[in-house]
Structure 1
């Protein structure tokens, strides 16, 4: 068994596994949304969603106290998914029902808020986001060198990054559908370049040795890829089984079990195992 698990400690399995876990969990997030609506009904779904957000907040609290980077990263990610589903998506639906306005208008109206708050993270000198750092480096937008000895909280960073990337792509897709149309040349162009971007990031991710870095890199990579997947769903090329838990009970349970097993592999990888294998690989090379 141990020899089998060692397969997952090496590239490309570390990065690919992390990517699949994040990508599929995004779909399961849609399933969670549907289950809350189905189980609790219209009268109690918003209360249930609020509690769901509280569970996410608790996971974030636990993750921020964790010393284990992998566990903290996963806790931050799932905290973000639960808080986004429970507090963000359901709040839009609540006020949509209250005002009899379509949900997409509420999401689009947050564009300015996202841009204003994102500026804090964009100009933060402690950021290690490769996307932001590219602009800092090439457009001379850096605000200074990172603080020496600065200790990052992986759960908090992962949670915020996840929320902002999901938020960004929700807005992008809604704006595309609203002002360009889902089958316009603009949307086709976005799909093409977004898919290339996702594949490029996945190719880089497949070379990662470190699980923590792989997970943090896999989150935006999978979310970028999921945006292309959402467009394929919009074009009716694929079927979104996540929204039909009654029809796909066995499949969704199987997927959830596989995801849980994959996360356990990532979290309980022996400390230093990746680095030891990397050194051995370099020595043999």
Structure 2
């Protein structure tokens, strides 16, 4: 496999930028819970989700694949945290949903216990993508090939209107949603349980899958496409992280950010530097391309 150094840098930068966003998102929720009154927290969370939605829409009108991807990514993260997780938290608290307790310790917060109830909505979205989206996603292409066979092109005739910001936004939310449903199914003792062998096999399978995805990602030379692929790679990789944290294999510092301020600040600084570096690299590449002029532009 011919991999340029540039692709290695792009892949590592994209992967770690998205990866660092995961613990930072968890830490943000914990800090808002601990440092804000419930009323102020929910108003702030609703505003956060609204800002995220506006960012995604701004990304539709942004110029350049990388910029659109970043608008969709950051907007999607704020949207998921503010309008998905915090709204579930609000209604869980409002109607007195109790957390799952083991030996007097909270192992699953009430809002996450509500996630399995969204399975029908998730299936509805999956049906839309399966039958109505001609996409570059390997997973959906495989599903369409399995279910439709030679009739694939007749059933899935054309792609939906493609806005990179919306594509990134939906990719992030759908994969996060799928991962949460998978984890909550595995953790549920009525089905498997967090110490069940199948749960560990799910984690192992996701870890191995993430490795293969990362290797495939090394071939992607475009910043925007590399970042979008990183979203899938990181979330799949995060599944075994969640499972191992659940069984206390290691200490999840992002669940107690106040006790691990130095580590969280390092993650935040690294995240900002990577995002800024990716933005600058994309801008520089675009500027260099303009300076080269149409005479030096590659033919298609």
* TM-score relative to the length of structure 2: 0.83
C-alpha deviation, 1:43, in angstroms: 2.9
| Higher alpha-carbon deviation: 95-104 or 59-68 | 95-104
C-alpha deviation, 1:231, in angstroms: 0.6
* SS of aligned partner of 1:165: helix
Quote the residue 1:208 is aligned against: 220
What root-mean-square deviation, in Å, do the aligned CA atoms of Structure 1 and Structure 2 show? Answer: 2.0
CA contact (8 A) 2:133 2:158 kept: yes
Quote the residue 1:118 is aligned against: 126
Quote the residue 2:257 is aligned against: 245
| Higher alpha-carbon deviation: 99-108 or 199-208 | 99-108
155, 159, 163: which is aligned to 2:169? Answer: 159
C-alpha deviations, 1:196-239, integer Å up to 9, x for none? 11111011112321111111111011000011110110121121
2:93 aligned with 1:97? yes
CA contact (8 A) 2:130 2:143 kept: no
C-alpha deviation, 1:251, in angstroms: 2.0
Runs of 4+ off more than 6 Å: none
127, 142, 158: which is aligned to 1:134? Answer: 142
Quote the residue 2:83 is aligned against: 87
2:199 aligned with 1:187? yes
Quote the residue 2:102 is aligned against: none
Count the aligned residue pairs: 265
* SS of aligned partner of 1:236: coil
2:166 aligned with 1:170? no
C-alpha deviations, 1:252-281, integer Å up to 9, x for none? 12211111111122122223679xxxxxxx
CA pair 139-117 structure 1, distance change in 2 beyond 3 A: closer
136, 156, 167: which is aligned to 1:144? Answer: 156
Quote the residue 1:59 is aligned against: 55
Quote the residue 2:29 is aligned against: 33
The runs of 5 or more residues in structure 1 that have no matched partner are 1-7, 275-285
C-alpha deviations, 1:144-165, integer Å up to 9, x for none? 3446xx8621111100110010
Structure 1: distance between partners of 2:184 and 2:147: 29
| Higher alpha-carbon deviation: 74-83 or 131-140 | 131-140
C-alpha deviation, 1:35, in angstroms: 2.0
CA contact (8 A) 2:17 2:271 kept: yes
8, 11, 17: which is aligned to 1:21? Answer: 17
CA contact (8 A) 2:192 2:198 kept: yes
C-alpha deviations, 1:147-193, integer Å up to 9, x for none? 6xx86211111001100100110011011110201010110111111
Q: Which has the higher contact order (CA 8 A, sep 6+)?
A: 1
C-alpha deviations, 1:47-84, integer Å up to 9, x for none? 11101111111211211111121111011011111111
* SS of aligned partner of 1:182: coil
C-alpha deviation, 1:39, in angstroms: 2.8
Structure 1: distance between partners of 2:53 and 2:209: 31
Structure 1: distance between partners of 2:168 and 2:22: 15
